[in-house]
Amino acid sequence: MHIFLDSSPLSLLASPRRSADVLAITQWVTVHLASGNQLYVPEVIDYELRRELLRAGKTFSVTRLDLLKLQLNYLPITTEVMLRAADLWAQSRRAGIPTGDPKKLDIDVILAAQALTLAVPAVDIVVATSNVAHLARFVTAELWTNITP
């Protein structure tokens, strides 16, 4: 299975706190990696999380985010991804089901495009998120807590 991390699970992994949620996702990642699943840090999600961490001066979390990019699979944005994202955005708008303000960059469609352009069957891809509704229009998406190895 190829699991793409959305901003909420990635922010938990970057957090220095030892809350129940942070411990749970750390264990979740360990179990998935041990079972052979591939976990991805999409560049667009790194950007979304990093910009807020930098704004808030959370340098320790930025360092943890950098380490996650080394420990997991980092997936950069490519021209192919952006072309696919533009197509998804336009299809969504034509269908009358936008995912956000038309004047804003739509991170959800870029994330979906990153997942969909990976060279693996779509049935093997899932986005781990806390916001299933927007992403499920384009790609399989589940609450990270519901994704089992």
Domains and CATH numbers, the chain: 2-146 (3.40.50.1010)
> Does residue 38 or residue 132 have the better pLDDT?
38
| pLDDT, position 102 | 66
53-96, pLDDT tens digit by residue?
999 999 999 999 999 999 999 999 999 999 999 999 888 888 88
Strand, coil or helix: 8: helix
| pLDDT, position 32 | 97
The whole-number average pLDDT for the span 98-107 is: 71
- CA torsion angle for 36, 44, 134, 5 (degrees, to 10)? 20
Q: Report the chain's mean pLDDT, rounded to a whole number.
A: 91
Cβ atoms of 140 and 122 within 8 Å: the answer is yes
| pLDDT, position 65 | 97
57-67, pLDDT tens digit by residue?
999 999 999 99
Alpha carbon distance 137, 106 (integer Å): 13
Phi-psi domain of 85 (left: phi exceeds 0; alpha: psi -120 through 50; beta: other): alpha
The whole-number average pLDDT for the span 143-149 is: 93
| pLDDT, position 104 | 64
Query: pTM to 2 decimals?
Result: 0.90
